[in-house]
Amino acid sequence: MSKPENSEATTHFGYQEVPVAEKEQRVGDVFRSVAARYDVMNDIMSLGSHRLIKRYTIELSALRAGHKVLDLAGGTGDFSLQFSEIVGPSGQVILADINEAMLSVGRDRIIDKGMSGNIEVAQVNAEYLPFADNTFDCVCIAYGLRNVTDKEAALKSIQRVLKPGGRLLILEFSKPTNAIIGKSYDAFSKLWPIAGKLITGDADSYRYLVESIRMHPDQETLKQMMEDADLINCKYHNVMSGICAIHIGFKSH
Amino acid sequence: MNQLLGSTALWPIEFALNQLIKSDQHLQSIVQKFDDQLLEIHTTTPTAFICIHFNNGIRLSAISSDDLGVTPTARVSSKATSLLRLLLTTSDSAALSNPEIEISGDAQFVHAIFQSLKNLDLRWDDLLAPWLGDLSTHLAKTSSDSIRQWSAQSKTSISATLSDYLRQESGLLPARGQLDQFNSAMDDLKLRIDRAKARIERLNSHV
């Protein structure tokens, strides 16, 4: 682990400690590099299971026609496309991401599928959401929170834009609860940079992905962070023995 | 983990149902009637759970409304066999009057779904035609019709033959008239015993 020489505040970027101001740019570079092949790599790294997990997450959103949803760190628009069908023409989906390259892939995909009717695209920073208070029935952030520099600020910002009674869903890699599965998963994830090099020509981005997963808070810590951000009835569902976890929290009425 | 497996198992079923709905305008209009309603079905033997959300089609889920924090329009609890039998019954109010089926919430909604299922007129050959081609579908349809007709005829024939054999040849079963006469005599005897019991009780109370 390398420490920067200056004394300014630092945060982690994978296993490295970097100045806070630098992390956003570094994460941006990672996602700009992988945007074009992001979905293909997801299929390879998860052996297709991410599709099942995403469907399960969508079920947990309990969305209905007419709801307004924020798909935060929505990138290539996987969730937005499905949310769009559920909320229907009377609802609205905002596909938001900090990274313009990921958003560009997502926006093109939405247009290609002819589903732009109730989906808006916005480039936003999760720590400072540019939406009015009490706007969304549901905010979903899938595989995005670990890349946010100030997670506490992002959770507070999300809590602010949720409607009273609205729900936050966080789908993220987490800590395996089974030692054998944990070891197997560790071994498997060491192959990701190799696969990344072969498919996208970029091993470093996938090395960051593996490291950032290890550095992400475990299930209980993230639940506590959600409660600290004034979300209530927080709970989590472990998926595949905790390799991923879906956290749910509500804004109080 | 169970919920994830349930969700995974329901995915292809949901996909198939929604394809069916999209391809049939009549079915679309039926499903639209239930838009934004949620039906929870619990079955025992085998134990299973399914949540049906009518929303721009059908969405199936293995997550209960309690877990989701929403209120279902109606809940139906029953043995799986009772629910299957319900689909074959001709009675209009069977869903509401069957003591084996427990309904909570909007009973009218459950009744309307039951009626719609009963009145479905699905033509599976129309659905298969775009995939298999007209000729293959026609062959499949005629083969299926022949098999169904042959099965129905065989069932009727075997049932009649077996019944005749058991009554006439082996003498194991009585004739229908004899059975009715015996049942009537039993009912009469039971009635007389009940009356006698009531009379004895009345006499005991006088003593």
- Residue identified by tokens 């009377």 is A90
Written as six digits, the tokens of A153 are: 């600020």
Q: Rounded mean pLDDT of chain A?
A: 87
Q: Chain A within 8 Å of B18 (Cβ-Cβ)?
A: no
Select the highest-mean-pLDDT range: A143-147, A156-160, B162-166.
A156-160
The model's pLDDT over A19-65, given as tens digits with 9 standing for 90+, comes to 777 777 777 777 777 777 777 777 887 788 888 899 999 999 989 88
β-partners of residue A167 are A138, A250
Contact A52 B7 (CB under 8 A): yes
Give pLDDT, residue A248.
95
The model's pLDDT over B153-169, given as tens digits with 9 standing for 90+, comes to 999 999 989 888 887 77
Contact B56 A85 (CB under 8 A): yes
Q: Please report the DSSP string for chain A in residue order.
A: -PPPSS-S-EEEETTEEEEHHHHHHHHHHHHHHHGGGHHHHHHHHHTTHHHHHHHHHHHHHT--TT-EEEEET-TT-HHHHHHHHHH-TTSEEEEEES-HHHHHHHHHHHHHTT--TTEEEEE--GGG--S-TT-EEEEEEES-GGG-S-HHHHHHHHHHHEEEEEEEEEEEE---SSHHHHHHHHHHHTTHHHHHHHHTS-HHHHHHHHHHHHHS--HHHHHHHHHHTTEEEEEEEEETTTTEEEEEEEE--
Give pLDDT, residue B86.
77
Q: Chain A within 8 Å of B161 (Cβ-Cβ)?
A: no
Work out the average pLDDT over A161-176: 94
Contact A237 B3 (CB under 8 A): yes
Q: Chain A within 8 Å of B4 (Cβ-Cβ)?
A: yes
| Optimal mutation site among B10, B54, B55, interface A, most CBs of chain A within 10 A | B55
Residues of B with Cβ-Cβ distance to A237 under 8 angstroms: 3
More confident position, A126 or A214: A126
Contact A240 B8 (CB under 8 A): no
Give pLDDT, residue B94.
66
Q: In whole angstroms, give the CA distance from residue A79 to residue A82.
A: 5
Lowest-pLDDT range of A65-69, B144-148, B174-178: B174-178
Work out the average pLDDT over A169-190: 88
Residues of A with Cβ-Cβ distance to B63 under 8 angstroms: 59-60
Q: How confident is the model at residue A186 (pLDDT cuts 50, 70, 90)?
A: confident
Select the highest-mean-pLDDT range: A2-6, A198-202, B90-94.
A198-202
| Optimal mutation site among B3, B4, B36, interface A, most CBs of chain A within 10 A | B4
Contact yes or no for A19/A10 (Cβ under 8 A): yes
Angle subtended by helix axes B124-132 and B134-164, to nearest 10: 140
Select from B1, B11, B36 the Cβ nearest to the Cβ of A64: B36
Give pLDDT, residue A1.
38
Whether residue A100 has pLDDT greater than 80: yes
Q: Chain A within 8 Å of B35 (Cβ-Cβ)?
A: yes
Q: Chain A within 8 Å of B70 (Cβ-Cβ)?
A: yes
Q: How confident is the model at residue A169 (pLDDT cuts 50, 70, 90)?
A: very high
Give pLDDT, residue B176.
79
Give pLDDT, residue A2.
43
Work out the average pLDDT over A157-163: 96
Select from A56, A65, A250 the Cβ nearest to the Cβ of B4: A56
Give pLDDT, residue A119.
94
Q: How confident is the model at residue A75 (pLDDT cuts 50, 70, 90)?
A: confident
Whether residue A213 has pLDDT greater than 70: yes
Whether residue B1 has pLDDT greater than 70: no
Contact A86 B59 (CB under 8 A): yes
- CA A18 from chain centre, in angstroms, equals 21
More confident position, A203 or A138: A138
Work out the average pLDDT over B178-185: 91
Q: Chain A within 8 Å of B8 (Cβ-Cβ)?
A: yes
Residues of B with Cβ-Cβ distance to A240 under 8 angstroms: 1, 4
Q: Rounded mean pLDDT of chain B?
A: 85
Asked if the peptide bond before residue B99 counts as cis, ω within 30 degrees of 0, the response is: no
Give pLDDT, residue A25.
76
The model's pLDDT over A220-235, given as tens digits with 9 standing for 90+, comes to 999 999 999 999 999 9
* C-alpha distance from B10 to closest chain A C-alpha (Å): 11
Q: Chain A within 8 Å of B5 (Cβ-Cβ)?
A: no
Task: Spell out which chain A residues touch chain B, with contact meaning CB-CB distance below 8 angstroms.
Answer: 52-53, 55-56, 59-60, 62, 64-65, 85-86, 88, 167, 233, 237-241, 250
3-state secondary structure of B93: coil
Work out the average pLDDT over A64-78: 92
At position B39, the amino acid (one-letter code) is L
pTM of the model: 0.75
